[in-house]
Amino acid sequence: MSEKGGGLYAGARTETKARLKALRAALASEKADAILITDLKNARYLTGFTGSNAFVIITESRAFLLTDSRYTTQASEEVRGFHIKTVTKALDAVAALVASMKIRSLGFEAANVTCSMHSRLSEAMPKVRLKPFTGLAGIRIRKDASEIKGIRASASLLDTGYRDAARLIRPGAIERDVALSIEMALRRRGADGLAFDTIIASGPRGALPHGKASEKVIKKGEFVVVDMGVLMDGYNSDETRTFVVGRATTRQSEIYGIVRDAQARALEAVRPGVKAGEVDAAAREHIRKSGYGKYFGHGTGHGVGLDIHEGPSIAPGNDEILVEGMVITVEPGIYIPGWGGVRIEDMVLVKKGGYELLTKTGKDLRAL
């Protein structure tokens, strides 16, 4: 882990500088003297550190990474531009540092800090004003070059899992066995893990948008929805394909075609300057006009990066504007209770004038 992380982040050091600069701009607008970062993904984003114990303190002119003795060597290899301190009692060390710099107001991540931890922070520095801070989600929503490289690699690895899926899905196979075999192959090829429990939902189970692979036996004639993601070097990927086992019926071909067209329309809508809700509407409108509107109950997509679900939400009525550098999923579906479902999902990078497809498995209906 340490070596791989170091390798990735070696090329990202100019970018961690830019990230720190963006955070400092937020610091000024939040009117805090310093910000305490406790979310491990945010700490990684700012410093490049991939360990599991990190407290980051940023002031206008200084930057500290606090970690424990397990990670001293790793932190010194991965991180540049931060004072690295090895500490035993992290919150006491934070308080001591805050006191030594005469910090009076400290931003903290309200979505990450529990009430218990907040109490301990307050007790350790009774004179410091703790201010809820939300600034990093807004910075992370736009991916920089080294992040895009990481996401591209994760998506590209994920594509290989769909080759396995096409080989393993057959009448008589058990959903869970297929999922395990694919996971194992992905991990042997370099995935650090899955982004989420693999969804393999065959036949009527396809009507569940979150049908985790089960003990169900896959049968001839069924649709099989396969929704997977991998985590590699910190970055998530997310993709869905729907296969048919044997020959598709007329109704299966029709419904697959509607979802495929809906996804194509949503993709066509993706470009900088467009509202997230417009991308959703492009898919939703097509499914509605085709007569299946009530069978598409979820949003059309979401941002992906260090977290598998990030902003922006590609959902009805979301006025957030897409900008270059966002990475989003586009994943409409039709789910008919008792019959089954179809979902097709790609991950795309928002680029000048349009988008770039990051997941590249074919989308013609494939009969296995």
CB 135, CB 175: distance < 8 Å: no
In angstroms, rounded to a whole number, what is the distance separating the alpha carbons of residues 10 and 6? 6
132 binds its own copies (CB under 8 A): yes
Q: Does residue 214 touch its own copies according to CB under 8 A?
A: yes
| C-alpha distances out from residue 248 to 49, 244, 257, 276, 365, Å | 49, 6, 12, 33, 9
| Among 24-32, 111-119, 223-231, 269-277, the segment contacting its own copies (CB under 8 A) | 111-119
Residue 223: how many CB atoms within 10 A of its CB? Answer: 26
Q: Which residue has the tokens 């050091």?
A: 13
Told to check if 189 binds its own copies by CB under 8 A, we report no
Q: Judge whether 202 and 184 are in contact, CB under 8 Å.
A: no
Q: Show the site string, 54-83: x = touches its own copies by CB under 8 A, - = not.
A: ----------------x-------------
- State the Cα–Cα distance between residues 222 and 249, nearest whole angstrom: 10
Candidate list 14, 76, 119, 253; residue touching its own copies; CB under 8 A: 119
Decide if residue 110 touches its own copies (CB under 8 A): yes
Residue 86 within binding range of its own copies, rule CB under 8 A: no
Report the residue number, 112 or 290, with the smaller CB distance to its own copies: 112
Q: Which one of 27-35, 116-124, 136-144, 158-166 is the stretch in contact with its own copies (CB under 8 A)? A: 116-124
Return the bridge partners of 356, or none: 349
Binds its own copies (CB under 8 A): choice among 61, 115, 319, 338: 115
Q: Is 212 one of the binding residues for its own copies (CB under 8 A)?
A: yes
**Two structure tokens written together for 347:** 């991950």
Binding status of residue 111 toward its own copies by CB under 8 A: yes
Q: Does 122 bind its own copies (CB under 8 A)?
A: no
Residue 113 as a binder of its own copies (CB under 8 A): the answer is yes
Q: Confirm if 231 and 259 have CB atoms less than 8 A apart.
A: no
The gap between the terminal CA atoms of the chain, to the nearest Å, is: 37
Task: Give residues in contact with its own copies (CB under 8 A).
Answer: 1, 70, 108, 110-116, 118-119, 132, 177, 180, 184, 187-188, 208, 210, 212, 214
